Each structure stands twice: as structure tokens, then as C-alpha cells.
Chains A and B, each alone.
Chain A
């Protein structure tokens, strides 16, 4: 059993962090093999950024697969670029604040939420990735939510002030993910 996930968006949307949190949580809490592979241009902000997470019972071959089981898109160009890689009947997670175009793939399960606006409502646009991670975990339960939260908590260890905001963002995402299951 192997799950391929691609997370794609603008640089600065926390795409890498989202993938890394998920992959690290899998490493910490399971015996499964997991890889995280980033791909981005020379820019620190802006430009396109995407990462691939593969979770598998077997040895992971390619750390970026040709066909994605799940696809998270945070902006319009990412949808256009990666929608073709989503497997038949795969799940598409969409940031509907930015992605306004029609989803042409009728076979795909679509989980959508305006995560940019939801993050702004929480008072910080930067947590959109944590909301999206919450949605992904709430919907797929690929890793237990406690472990994912534990990883976020650990990673934010040096900035404890940010924990309540991130907790709120993660829980908001979880609720949305579960409700769309």
C-alpha cells in the first residue's frame, strides 16, 4: 500500500511546511516508510512551490510519483499544472479563496475550503497551511491527529506564543475535513 500526495502553491503559502509536518508525523508515529521531496525555484517568496509526500508499507521507490492519490492545491496555477496527475477517483483539496476556476475532473472527490479567508479570520494569513493540513488529516485520517499536532507543537517549540493560534487553525481544519467526508 502506497499513498502519493502532492502539495502545490505559491512560495510563502507554507506548502513545504505542510508536507514536512505530515511526513515527519508519519515517521514519528508509524513503522511505515515515508519520503518528503521538495521542488521549488530560486525564489524565496512567490514563484511556484510544490512538494511530494509518499507513505508506503514497502520501500519507497520514487519520492515523487507519476500518479497522485491526493492533491492539495493552494492556487490556480497549481491546479492547472497538477490536476492531470491525480489518479482516477483521487481526492483534490482546494483552497477556494484563490482557486476560482471550474474543476474539470468529474471523477475526483473535491474537498474545498476558503483557507486564505479562514486564516485571515483567525488573525494571521500565515496559518492557511495549518488549516489545510487539518482538513487533510480530518478527511483522510492517514495519520492520527494527535501525532500530527504533536509534530506541530514540537516544531513550534521555540515560539510557544504561536501555539494557540496554530491549534485553533488545525482544529478548524479538522472540523471542515470531517464534515466533508
Chain B
């Protein structure tokens, strides 16, 4: 298939439609407005529903409702808008509703800035709402990856009956680049997805079928529900995805995800030509986190880790520290508040580390 030139946000929306998403509700916020805009145009073409809710809270709860019927459903927002949705996200996780949402993140805290940032890492990976639930969280570093992750996210959501988060910084969301789009799921396939959820979905069964209901709170035994969810989270080791780039002989290893990893990777190519042995570990799933990639490093060779992210204070660093476990120093190269990581900043940070 020929490549097309697409903006990250629009690509995410198209990938969702192609994966069989037939319900989207959202509320405007920069820099993700192209997602609802695209769905508004696209959904009627495929017999899906687009709703611009009256608020973030309304939108996520519409997705909660649509997801409860087994329809592939999605919402999106940016940073402070995601915070507003966190109650509904937690309810979806509690009631085990499959749904996909995207955070095209911007500066924070609070209303922050409209420009790209990576300041929602801890919220995304550790607590996207109350109650200690977990989600698969994917962090794309190219528009193509954003497409592939969104497309597959619906499969994971359905498999686990759990929300899946695409944690996408504002750079990937707003930039355009050539991409290849995945195959459009046929109407028959989309119907089959919904049919596959029939066992639990609230769609009005006949009298001969066991009654379904959705439980945001588990009145028959909350602890049992927690244990059951925890057991499901435990199965996610197989879903960990990571890119290791030139790590085999590296003396300095950069830890970065999303746009920062992409910038760092291009810096590595320059630094390698200078003879500096530097590599990259890029978590593709930021939850579950690829701790193993850091645990297995040969620390007689690796003299430092450089944590590169667009967040001050650093957040990814907490997971990196768990993997490194005090076996070498961890330095940082950070921007924040809407300032984008530059290749020069990474180059300088690595060169300084190399001289130490």
C-alpha cells in the first residue's frame, strides 16, 4: 500500500476506525483537536457514532456506556483533560470495560501550556485514577507507531476487558510524516468483535441468556474483584515491548521514550561517529515497564545512564532507578513545560558524561 502523509492525531483516529472503533466521544483541547475533528467527519462514513460531549467527564462516561455494550469505543484528550476523565477511566477499569484512550500530552501541571511535553508519565503508568488499577500504556515515537499501537490497542482492550492508554506527546500528535495504514476491518469483523463480548455486554439479551450487568463497584466482594484484576495484570510480562539500540557495547545508555527517544536516537548516530559508545533503551510499553533491559546490562561496562525526557522534575527516572538498582549513576537531560528536547542538548549531555 502506498504511503500517505498524515498528522499524528488524524492517524490515530483513522487507525481506530480501521480497528473497528465505532464510538468516539470527546471534548476539545489543544493539541489533540484533530482527533475529534477527524472522527466527526469519519464516523458517519462507517456507520459509527461521534459525540462531542459537553465536558471531558461527560465524554468519558459516554465511552464507559458505549464500551459496556461491547462496542469498540474510544476517547482522547490532553493532560489536564485526562485528569478530568480519570474518574471515568477508573470506573471503566473497575467494571472491566474494554476501551482505548489517547493522551496527546502537553505542559503541566494544571492547565500548563499547549505545547508538547512528557509530564504525565507517572499519572499514566502508576495511577490514572483512584483504586490502584493498571493498564497497558503504549508510548509511540513515530506517527507509524501511533497508528500500529492504536490499531492493536483495541485487541488488547478486548482481550483483557480493560482500558488501554496511548501515551503520545504533543510532538507526535501534531507532526506529519509518511505512514502506511493498516487494513480496514470489515463490517462482518466489526460485528464479530461485538458478538465476542456478548457474554458480558449489556445489550438486552433474551430470557434464555444469563442477565448481564456492569459493576463499577463490586458489591458482592470488592477484594475478589481486585484479586481477579491483579491476576490479569500479572499476565502482562509477555506484552512488554522495548527497543534496544546499540546497547551491546555501550558505556553510556540513554533511557528515553516517545519523542525524546527519537531525538536521542538521532543524537546517538552522531555520537557513535565521534567514537562515543552510547546506546538507547526505549520503553515502547511504559507500563508494563521493560525493567529487564536495565537489569541485564553489564555494569562493569556501562558507566552511566542518561535519563532523557521532557519533564522537570524527571518521572521516567523512577522506573529506570528500579531497573538499574544503584549499579551505576543516573544523570538527566531534561526539558519541560512545552519546550521540546533538542538533539544538541542530548549531544552535550552525552559528551559531558563521556569526559567524566
Contacts and interface: CB of A to CB of B under 8 A. Distances in A.
Given A28-B5, A66-B342, A61 B178 contact: no
Given A20-B176, A27-B3, A63 B343 contact: no
B230 interface: no
B30 interface: yes
A46 B344 CA distance: 31
B215 to A, nearest CB: 42
B265 A60 contact: no
B263 A60 contact: no
B114 A42 contact: yes
B5 A23 contact: yes
Interface secondary structure of B, over-half rule = mixed
A39 B267 CA distance: 22
A23 B176 CA distance: 9
Interface string B84-123: 0000000000000000000000000000001100000000
A62 B178 contact: no
B171 interface: yes
Contacts of B5: 23-24, 27-28, 34, 36
A64 interface: yes
Interface string B319-356: 00000000000000000000011111000000000000
B175 A65 contact: no
A35 interface: yes
A35 B340 CA distance: 15
Contacts of B174: 37-38
A66 B342 CA distance: 7
A22 B344 CA distance: 26
A138 B304 CA distance: 49
Interface residues of A, number: 23
A165 to B, nearest CB: 24
B342 A36 contact: no
B342 A62 contact: yes
Contacts of B262: 61-62
Given A42-B30, A66-B342, A37 B175 contact: yes
Interface in A33-69: 33-39, 41-42, 58-66
Contacts of A61: 262-263, 265-267, 269, 343
B248 interface: no
A23 B340 CA distance: 21
B114 A62 contact: no
Contact of A36 (B3, B30, B175, B269): B175
A66 B174 CA distance: 19
A63 B175 contact: yes
Contacts of A64: 340
Interface in B247-266: 262-263, 265-266
Nearest to B4: A27
Nearest to A28: B5
B54 interface: no
A62 B176 contact: no
B175 A66 contact: no
A36 B342 CA distance: 16
B280 to A, nearest CB: 11
Given A27-B5, A37-B171, A60 B177 contact: yes
Contacts of A20: 176
A58 B177 CA distance: 13
Interface string B291-308: 000000000000000000
Contacts of A62: 262-263, 266, 340-343
Nearest to A32: B178
A36 B114 CA distance: 18
11 contacts: A20-B176, A24-B176, A27-B177, A27-B178, A33-B177, A39-B115, A61-B263, A61-B265, A62-B340, A63-B171, A66-B344
Given A20-B176, A60-B266, A66-B342, 5 more contacts: A33-B178, A34-B177, A37-B171, A61-B267, A65-B343
Closest 5 CB pairs of A and B: A61-B266, A27-B5, A36-B176, A66-B344, A37-B175
